[in-house]
Structure 1
Amino acid sequence: MSMMISVFATCFLLLYQIWVKHCQNDMQTIVLESSEYRNDFPSVTFCPQRPMTEERINKILQRMILPTGLRASKFRHNIRHYHEFLAHTKIDNATIFEMINILKINNMTMNDLINDLIDPCESFLHSCYFDERKISCSHYFKKIMAARRYCCTFNNRFYSDKNENTYRPKTKSVKYSPYSGLVLRFNENRFGSNTIDNNETKSSVSNENKIWICVLNSYESLSGTLINYAIQPGKELHIQVEVSVKYAGNDLHNDCVDGDVEERPYVPFYSVSNCKLSSKIQKAYQHCNCIPYFYAYGLVNHSKEICDIEKTICLNDNHNDIWRDKQNSKYYYESLCPSTCKIFNLRKTTTDIPINGGDFACSRIYENITNCGAILRVYLKTEISNLFKQEDVKNEFNYFDVREDPWINAAVPDSFVFHITVPSCVPHDR
């Protein structure tokens, strides 16, 4: 019996020594294959420069009572910019006081007026397709007030159910081509020449008739600065999204500073972190005791007051301190939030190409739809670039489970194989 114990102990010690030696000198490569996760599709948001029609403006003018001394022509001119009141664009205090007076006389809130003024999202869209399947524009696009203007957003993370719970269902793209992804055809009547006043007409190429496009990582807030892709009447705009996977380690911010953006064919999108968003909300509340309207729509169970029109003056007066986060070092800002990095690279593959050779004539482009509005295609590129580099993982244990790690889930295509080198003695489950 004692001999058996001795043999067992000897074997155990021998195996332990071999194991220690192996740990000190060897590495092993783990091969991971994902066959069930595809790319998350980004959020796509369009923001019309003129989100209201003359017909809606006329209906509102007919039923509103104007203060004594305010000419209807001046009110008609100003009302086109009222959707900017709740955004943090600078508006002079005299105009704000005038608006406060109008709302009081008509027993309305600013939100009531804007909702009456702004057309629903589907009014801008002739048809919507996702992965070559026709979808309901009214169901998939939500009207919101973004940081600088009124917008309609697709696949944004903030939705509210009937119990006012906020959630964001993930929308996956299963195909890779300019005809898959999201294909939007805008209504012709939302572009072109529009009669503004009796003798004032805007041409079809003016900013008044452009629709600005913003493509975001779907995990980020929409309250950031919009990327100025513009689509015009009779034009087709392609935005190709190349997905990049970066190791989410301590040095991730080294990729965040790029001074040569304008010279590159790829335009990096720098995400707006929740940390910075929370900092702006906190600053606004410190100055004005309210939360800006365009930051509040995605908050859950917030008890703080939302800024109304009267607080717009306070937000204007403290504009620089609230929204400009001064950089006090290479990577950190006054809000103490580290710089965030890109996950998506956006590239315009076809820009401002007129439909049908530039004569703005209708053409049978998609599913026999004949409409001269404009087309937007946002789609995922087939190739995946900037994957894990060996130097990223050589000095520490970096085992990633593609089913759990959000940085990978945001960019794992169908059936992609990862080769990751790890110390051989570290357990392979996290």
Structure 2
Amino acid sequence: MSCDVTSRCFWTVNMISVLAMSFSITYFLYNRFEEMPTRVAIENQFEPIKNLPYPAITLCTPNQVTISSLEYFKTTLIEGNKTDLESYLPLVLGFYEYINITDQTRDHLKNFQDLLEKNRYTVPELLGRVPQLCAKFLKRCYLERKVYNCTDLFKPILTARGYCCTFNNNYMFNRKMNVKDQNFVNRTVKATGFINALIVVTDYEMEDSMLGTLLNAGAVPVMYTDWTEFPSDDELSYIESYGESFHTITATYTYCSDEVKSLPVRSRNCFFHDEHRLDHFWSYHNSDCDHLCYANAVKSACRCIPAYIPHSGRNNVCKLVDIPCIIDVKSYQGPYSAITIVSEWSITEQCERDGAIEGLVLSKSTSAFHFFFTNPVYLKQKQETVMSIISLASNLGGVFGLSMGFSCISLLEILFYIYLGLKNYVKNKLAKVFIKISNHYNTN
């Protein structure tokens, strides 16, 4: 009897130990599967870059309030009092920058809004007419050694930085609102190297800027995004004027395996562009989601939508009287960050050798930009699962097999013996009950 008790205790302790070890390893494997379900592996370091889409490149003029726009509105605004128009126009900068809000400022904003409504002007129409237009800001454009009309390469767009000009972006400003361009043609890379660069010569025409309204001390904001994304500050540089800057572009393409696509969102912690619909932007991109978060904050506080948000509609756009509220939202969210890049070349050297500025009148507000791919190849990567559901099941089978000699047959065998044990237990119980009943009747 003692030997039977000893053996039972021995096997009980062993079973508890191996079960504890098995479940501990299972816990660690599952945690690894949940916390790091995917990895990025290099598939090809020398994928040919030809026919790869260009990124969207957005240049913003520092001259967001022009003297010529003042003269334009003096002639086109028929109804209302226009005597203080020179004091009104600089206030539109409040949509992009911090301005001092006083009681007088609020009165000016209200009077200006009333003036616009009397003449049936909307805020997006105002923001598209007050700044320096792309046709004047962009003086000359080259792409892959061919000269282009700049308005054929760049389209106007309203952004969080103001009125800008964007290259190879499927968003544009149609004078009413930002929309997706239905006639957009995606430009792809045909040649690489410095001589095939996208060259843009700009001039923000300081003499046409209203006093005290020039932004960024004349530096030009440059934004880089994917061609499907709305311009954002994720990749933002400020380029000083009266200089020549060189911007090298390198490409990395990452795609997902079918196993990654099959993972739940909570596991891979990301969305595919067609997996989650964003208001105003339709398809999902992380930078567009950031724009929408800001728009929702403004909508919650001010009950309107910033004018640069695409497909915002005529009646939902923030008005001039909402500028104090918008500034409060920006103050709560914190200031923007920026990177300043200073040109190392005088504009009269390299550009003259290239002939890019031949025939142009240069000034202190003139800049030249060179955007080009340095390599004819790009890095292609694949995001794949570190451990798929199948490999997780295989690892768990290995753990239990190593610890307990466990297998599917063993599981069925265990379940079968549990069934037999329960069956015999119930059978014995019923037999005892029947014996008691029969004894009772025999006694009587």
Range into which the TM-score falls when normalised by the shorter chain: 0.5 to 0.7
**Could you tell me which residue of structure 1 aligns to residue 430 of structure 2?**
none
In structure 2, the residue matched to 1:98 is 108
The answer to whether the 8 Å contact 1:83/1:149 transfers is no
Percent identity over the alignment is 15
Task: Render the CA deviation track for 1:334-389: whole Å, top value 9, x for unaligned.
Answer: xxxxxxxxxxxx997x934102359xxx8353367233332111112316566438
Deviations 1:146-174 (A, max 9, x none): 11322111112214899x76545322111
| Alignment counterpart, residue 353 of structure 1, candidates 339, 345, 355 | 345
- In the alignment, which of 265, 270, 290 is matched to residue 304 of structure 2? 290
- SS of the residue 1:104 aligns to: helix
Match of 2:229 in 1: 220
Tell me the SS of whatever aligns to 2:309.
Answer: helix
1:276 corresponds in structure 2 to 290
Partner of 1:87: 96
55, 60, 66: which one aligns with 1:42: 55
When structure 1 is superposed on structure 2, of 310-319 and 362-371 the one drifting more is 362-371
Q: Name the aligned partner's letter for residue 358 of structure 2.
A: I
Kindly tell me: are residues 385 and 396 of structure 1, through their superposed partners in 2, closer, same or farther at Cα, counting changes over 3 Å?
A: farther
SS at match of 1:310: helix
Quick check: 1:307 aligned with 2:311? no
- Residues 231, 352 of structure 1: 8 Å contact kept: no
Q: 1:410 aligns to what?
A: none
The answer for the alignment partner of 1:243 in structure 2 is 251
Q: 1:86 to 1:384 in 2, by over 3 A?
A: same
**Partner SS for 2:372:** strand
User: Are residues 58 and 228 of structure 1, via their aligned partners in 2, closer, same or farther at CA, if it must alter by over 3 Å?
Assistant: same
Alignment match of 2:198 (pick from 175, 182, 199) = 182
Moved more, 46-55 or 242-251: 242-251
Shift of 1:282: 2.9
Task: Quote the Cα distance in structure 1 between the aligned partners of 2:216 and 2:331.
Answer: 26
Could you state the TM-score of these two structures normalised by the residue count of structure 2?
A: 0.56
Distance 1:307 1:54, change over 3 A: closer
Question: Could you say what the CA RMSD is over the residues aligned between the two structures, in angstroms?
Answer: 4.6
Residue aligning to 1:378: 371
How far residue 63 of structure 1 moved from its aligned partner, in angstroms, is 6.7
Give the AA of the match of 1:237: S
Deviation track 1:235-270 (CA, whole Å, cap 9, x = no partner) reads 2111111112346567799xxxxxxxxxxxxxxxxx
2-side partners of 1:152 and 1:207: how far apart? 17
Unpaired runs of 5+ residues, structure 1, are 1-29, 254-270, 326-345, 398-430
Shift of 1:93: 5.3
Given residue 193 of structure 2, which amino acid in structure 1 is its aligned partner? S
Q: Structure 1 residues 305 and 62, CA, compared in 2 at 3 Å: closer, same or farther?
A: closer
Give the number of aligned pairs.
Answer: 310
Q: Is the 8 A contact 2:239 2:340 kept in 1?
A: no
Match of 1:153 in 2: 166
AA partner of residue 240 (structure 1): T
Partner SS state of residue 297, structure 2: helix
Q: Is the CA contact 1:191–1:209 (under 8 Å) kept in the aligned structure 2?
A: no
* Structure 2 gaps, min length 5: 1-42, 261-266, 271-284, 390-444
Shift of 1:288: 2.8
Q: Deviations over 1:28-70 (max 9, x none)?
A: xx999977962221111111111344333344357769999x9
2-side partners of 1:126 and 1:144: how far apart? 18
What secondary structure, in the 3-state scheme, does the structure 2 residue paired with 1:240 have? strand
Distance between the aligned counterparts of 2:99 and 2:346, measured in 1? Answer: 35
Secondary structure, in 3 states, of the residue corresponding to 1:183?
strand
| C-alpha contact (below 8 Å) 1:93/1:313 kept by paired residues | no
1:366 matched to 2:355? The reply is yes
Question: Per the alignment, do residues 131 and 60 of structure 1 end up closer, same or farther by CA in structure 2, a change over 3 Å counting?
Answer: same
Shift of residue 180 of structure 1?
A: 2.0
The amino acid of 1:378's aligned partner reads F
Structure with the bigger percentage of helix: 2
1:403 paired residue number: none
CA gap 1:184/1:292 in 2 versus in 1, 3 angstroms:
same
Q: Give the C-alpha shift of residue 113 in structure 1.
A: 3.5
CA separation in 1, counterparts of 2:340 and 2:62?
23
Tell whether 2:144 aligns with 1:131.
yes
CA distance in 2, matches of 1:117, 1:285: 25
* Kept in 2: contact 1:87–1:145 (CA 8 A): no
